[in-house]
């Protein structure tokens, strides 16, 4: 029997393999599994492709809200705030998906070679193209063929990007490969923000990375991300702080680690973004750890 993408994702995210249900695979994609609906999750995702294989997920970006079910795919091309929630999942039928970061260098290379081809019409939520699903399946199958992985991985990743550019997500993705486009320039500044979000980053430096004047940079950064550079950095800090708190760090330690100088300022920003005080998430993390300890006993 031929193993499907759903079968592979199910096998590689079993609780005995991945207790948290998230696996960063050796071949590139991330496999995600959840046995129950989740709370709202705030993220600033990189450009990515997500294939929903089972269950249902609700995603909001800007003023758009859509549900993604089995067989749907989502492509994110802008560095915009996203709120997502798994809304259909159970122990018997868990939510399963596969996500892959888009590679801007592959896209730029392909765009040059595909200049005479018309891209697909831009859409956000569509059924997964058969060619994309097939290429992702062949890539995931390499997990069981480690000897073939270094030989075939790059060409399969390139094939996936080719089919994305040729398909109905093509118009969205093509802008990422135009090296002189505003989207690509802002992406360079966003890469610096993602790497150095805990540091003080002068706007002049970010504008220089983007190859723009300060005023032009502000204008285009907001047009691409829906945020100012300062707001973008703040959300990166708060998202990382939440992760640290849920892993057991104190609120004050998490605040310091992500670049805040004052605990009260951090608490206000945190509550405004997530709707609860950091102490609430800290208490939830302690309770989860205690429950896990009881189960072990």
And the tokens for 187? 């992406």
Tell me, what's the pLDDT at 1?
A: 38
Q: How far apart are CA 22 and CA 271, in angstroms?
A: 27
pLDDT along the chain (297 residues), means of 10: 83 80 89 92 92 95 88 88 94 95 91 70 68 95 93 96 88 79 88 95 96 95 92 95 90 95 94 91 77 53
C-alpha angle 87/132/136, rounded to 5°?
Answer: 80
Tell me, what's the pLDDT at 18?
A: 72
End-to-end, the C-alpha distance of the chain in Å comes to 40
**Contact of 177 with 110, CB cutoff 8 Å:** yes
**What is the pTM (predicted TM-score) of this model?**
0.83
Tell me, what's the pLDDT at 296?
A: 45
Cα–Cα distances (Å) from 190 to 29, 83, 195, 196, in that order, read 22, 19, 9, 10
Task: Indicate if the alpha-carbon torsion angle 22, 198, 45, 37 is positive or negative.
Answer: positive
Q: Which of 76, 6, 40, 89 is nearest to 224 (CA)?
A: 76
């Amino acid at each position: 029997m031929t193993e499907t993408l759903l079968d592979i994702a199910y096998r590689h995210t079993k609780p005995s393999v991945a207790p948290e249900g998230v696996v960063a695979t050796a071949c590139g994609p991330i496999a995600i599994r959840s046995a129950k609906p989740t709370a709202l999750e705030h993220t600033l995702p990189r450009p990515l492709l997500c294939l929903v294989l089972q269950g249902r997920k609700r995603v909001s970006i800007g003023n758009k809200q859509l549900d993604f079910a089995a067989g749907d795919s989502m492509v994110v091309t802008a560095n915009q705030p996203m709120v997502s929630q798994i809304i259909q999942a159970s122990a018997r039928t868990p939510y399963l998906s596969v996500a892959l970061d888009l590679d801007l260098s592959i896209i730029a290379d392909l765009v040059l070679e595909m200049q005479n081809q018309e891209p697909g019409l831009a859409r956000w939520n569509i059924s997964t193209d058969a060619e994309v699903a097939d290429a992702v399946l062949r890539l995931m199958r390499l997990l069981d063929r480690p000897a073939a992985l270094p030989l075939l991985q790059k060409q399969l990743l390139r094939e996936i990007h080719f089919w994305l550019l040729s398909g109905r997500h093509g118009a969205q993705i093509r802008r990422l490969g135009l090296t002189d486009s505003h989207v690509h320039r802002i992406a360079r500044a966003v890469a610096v923000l993602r790497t150095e979000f805990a540091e003080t980053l002068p706007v002049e430096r970010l504008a220089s990375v983007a190859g723009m004047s300060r005023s032009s940079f502000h204008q285009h950064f907001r047009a691409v991300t829906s945020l100012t550079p300062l707001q973008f950095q703040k959300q990166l800090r708060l998202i990382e702080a939440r992760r640290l708190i849920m892993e057991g760090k104190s609120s004050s330690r998490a605040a310091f680690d992500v670049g805040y100088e004052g605990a009260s300022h951090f608490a206000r920003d945190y509550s405004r973004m997530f709707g609860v005080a950091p102490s609430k998430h800290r208490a939830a993390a302690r309770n989860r750890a205690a429950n896990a300890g009881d189960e072990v006993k």
